[in-house]
Amino acid sequence: MAADDISRGEAERLRGLDDAARVARTFEVIAGRGELWVWGDEDEILFTEDARRRTLLPIWPHATVARLENEGDVPGEHAIRIAADVFLKEWLPQLEDDRADIAIFPVEENNAAVLTLAEFHSRMTAALRLN
């Protein structure tokens, strides 16, 4: 387990939180640690679609919860750490080109929230200022 990771038991507890609590926890942790987690392999990042066929990039506040959600689906895939400032400056413009939104802390295909890139940027910027 990485030094900045959480135990499986703590990850299971966080996965059991309601949607609003998972959203709050995600922004709190990203602001506090300056990082977030996505899922993918050496070549690609995992995107999903919702029922409205929007392209979504799932993000998690901890590697362990990302692993619990995805592990075993495709060999070679793993949690990928992204610095929050890099995500805001480099990833968001690319996601805009891809016309993707952000899926916050999905658990069993239930997103805690789906935010537009502008909404995510606004909330993340505010959370980073508070930290």
Total domains present in the chain: 1
Q: What is the CATH number of the domain that holds 40?
A: 3.40.1350.90
**Count of residues in the chain:** 131
- Domain assignment present for residue 1? The answer is no
In the chain, DSSP finds a helix count (H) and a strand count (E) of 6, 6
Which contiguous run of DSSP H or E holds residue 124?
Answer: helix 117-130
- Domain assignment present for residue 2? The answer is no
- Domain assignment present for residue 97? The answer is yes
- Domain assignment present for residue 48? The answer is yes
- Domain assignment present for residue 3? The answer is no
**Containing domain of residue 102, as a range?**
8-130
At 4 the pLDDT is: 57
CB contact at 8 A, 61 and 104: no
- Domain assignment present for residue 46? The answer is yes
List average pLDDT for each run of 10 residues in the chain, which is 131 residues long. 74 96 96 96 91 94 94 86 96 95 95 97 92 76
At 74 the pLDDT is: 82
At 75 the pLDDT is: 85
- Domain assignment present for residue 90? The answer is yes
CB contact at 8 A, 38 and 78: no
